[in-house]
């Protein structure tokens, strides 16, 4: 069997190839090469044409727009994201905790979203922050929330002629923030469970609250309905709502493997964040 492989040099060339042949984009290859591996030292064989997109400069780099929106090119690696202080804290931290350093030098944000694994580290904070993904084809550019793009495990809305070109993250605005990743070991551990959350408090009232759980269901779990339970509440009354909220969040997640562990740990993380917020510490990240 022979691989059909294209190596476009520009985005336009890549989009033409994609439209004409349906070739599948290969960025860092850390998911795709592993999915089709045949053994140590043996080249994988793909049952479809592939397109190595690593030369597309249009998909590289990070920039900040006037309103503070951070735009991350799809080929940006986890190392590049982790070390760039313009990237919101939650996304930087998630990028810094992905696998081992060799992996982080290769794994791209476009690949992490394109792979759409519920255990992928980057979709979880991106969904918390209402980030969007920019999809381009030869004839069209469209943008949608990462939350809408990922439908379920390994299933997303990428059309056959599209390429992910960038991720856009609106400037976060919060009083308290929280991020935790629970893994079995640091090096090359895929997430067991992640949670991130933000709360904005203005004049003693909670005006925004969001949470997202990773690796606790077929996709990252976020529920605007349940989040609303805390919005509008005075912060000094928060402690009396924590248990009710935590139980409601338990209904948002749907872990398949080790459900008792995942449910209990998620509830403990939320309880911890909310009870620290209820004490009204200095604004910032809650450890
Ligand atoms: C040992 C090991 C440890 C790992 N640990 C972690 C971990 O801790 N956390 C984690 O989140 N992941 C982990 N992964 C998974 C993987 O490294 C990440 O998902 C990574 O971000 C994938 O990026 P990539 O560039 O290598 O993607 P690729 O393998 O190149 O592509 C992945 C998928 O996305 C598609 N794709 C890639 N780029 C684009 C684009 N621009 N437009 C459209 N589609 C695109 C591809 O067609 C493919 O379907 C691990 C993998 C391995 C092998």
pLDDT at residue number 184: 64
Q: Give pLDDT, residue 176.
A: 98
Q: What is the mean pLDDT of the chain?
A: 94
Report, as an integer, the average pLDDT of 229-253. 97
**How far apart are the C-alpha atoms of 178 and 90, rounded to whole Å?**
8
Nearest ligand 1 atom to alpha carbon 35: 29
Residue 185 has pLDDT above 80, yes or no: no
- pLDDT category, 182, cuts 50, 70, 90? confident
Per-residue pLDDT for 12 more than 70? yes
Number of CB atoms found within 10 A of residue 269's CB: 23
19 has a pLDDT exceeding 90: yes
CA of 170 to the centre of ligand 1 (A): 23
User: Is residue 121 lining ligand 1, measured as CB closer than 6 Å?
Assistant: yes
User: Would the pLDDT of 140 be above 70?
Assistant: yes
Cα(199) to centroid(ligand 1), Å? 30
- Ligand 1 pocket check for 34: Cβ under 6 Å: yes
pLDDT value of residue 189: 56
> What are the residues facing 63 on neighbouring strands?
71
Q: What is the pLDDT of residue 3?
A: 78
Q: Which residues of 49-85 are buried (b: 16+ CB within 10 A; e: fewer)?
A: ebbbbeebebbbebeeeeeeebbbbbbbbbbbbbebe
Let me know how many helices (H) and strands (E) the chain has, helices first: 11, 14
Nearest to 125 by CA among 279, 250, 285, 254: 285
Task: Work out the average pLDDT over 193-216.
Answer: 96
Residue 187 has pLDDT above 60, yes or no: no
Does 194 contact ligand 1 (Cβ within 6 A)?
no
Of the candidate ranges 78-92, 142-156, 171-185, 229-243, the one whose mean pLDDT is the lowest? 171-185
Please work out whether the CB of residue 114 comes within 6 Å of at least one atom of ligand 1.
yes
Q: Ligand 1: distance of its center to the CA of 97 in Å?
A: 14
CA of 282 to the centre of ligand 1 (A): 37
**Top mutation candidate among 5, 53, 112, 181 for ligand 1, by most atoms within 8 Å of CB:** 112
Average pLDDT value for residue range 101-113: 96
Q: Is the pLDDT of residue 72 over 60?
A: yes
**C-alpha–C-alpha distance, residues 264 and 259, integer Å:** 8
Q: Give the model's pLDDT for residue 275.
A: 97
Q: Would you state the pLDDT for residue 146?
A: 98
Q: Return the pLDDT at 257.
A: 86
Q: What does the pLDDT average to over 24-36?
A: 95
Express each pLDDT in 256-271 by its tens digit: 888 999 999 999 999 9
Q: Could you give all domains of the chain from N- to C-terminal order, each with its CATH number?
A: 5-169 (3.30.465.10), 176-285 (3.30.390.50)
Q: Is the pLDDT of residue 13 over 60?
A: yes
| 217 Cβ contact list (under 8 Å, min separation 6) | 118, 253, 254, 255, 256
pLDDT band at 2 (very low <50, low <70, confident <90, very high): low
- Mean pLDDT calculated for residue range 104-116: 97
Indicate yes or no: pTM above 0.85.
yes
- Position 186 scores a pLDDT of 54
Q: Report the C-alpha dihedral over residues 196, 217, 151, 5, rounded to 10 degrees.
A: 90
């Amino acid at each position: 069997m022979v691989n059909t492989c294209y190596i476009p040099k520009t985005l336009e060339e890549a989009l033409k190839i994609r439209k004409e042949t349906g070739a599948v984009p290969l960025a860092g290859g850390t998911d795709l090469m592993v999915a089709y591996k045949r053994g140590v030292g043996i080249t994988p064989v793909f049952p479809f044409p592939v397109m190595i997109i690593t030369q597309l400069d249009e998909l590289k780099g990070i920039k900040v727009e006037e309103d503070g929106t951070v735009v991350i090119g799809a080929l940006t690696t986890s190392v590049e994201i982790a070390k760039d202080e313009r990237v919101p804290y939650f996304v930087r931290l998630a990028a810094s905790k992905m696998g081992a350093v060799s992996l982080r030098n290769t794994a791209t944000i476009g690949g992490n979203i394109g792979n759409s694994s519920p255990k992928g580290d980057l979709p979880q904070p991106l969904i918390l922050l209402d980030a969007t993904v920019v999809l381009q084809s030869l004839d069209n550019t469209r943008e949608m929330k990462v939350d809408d793009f990922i439908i379920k495990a390994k299933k997303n809305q990428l059309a056959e002629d599209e390429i992910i070109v960038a991720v856009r993250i609106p400037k976060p605005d919060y009083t308290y923030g929280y991020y935790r990743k629970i893994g079995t070991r640091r090096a090359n551990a895929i997430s067991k469970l992640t949670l991130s959350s933000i709360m904005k408090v203005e004049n003693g009232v909670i005006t925004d609250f969001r949470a997202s759980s990773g690796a606790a269901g077929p996709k990252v779990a976020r529920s605007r309905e349940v989040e609303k339970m805390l919005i509008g509440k005075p912060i000094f009354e928060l402690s009396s709502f924590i248990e009710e909220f935590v139980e409601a969040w338990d209904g948002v997640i749907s872990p398949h493997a080790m459900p008792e562990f995942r449910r209990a740990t998620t509830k403990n993380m939320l309880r911890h964040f909310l009870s620290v917020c209820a004490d009204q510490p200095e604004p910032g990240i809650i450890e």
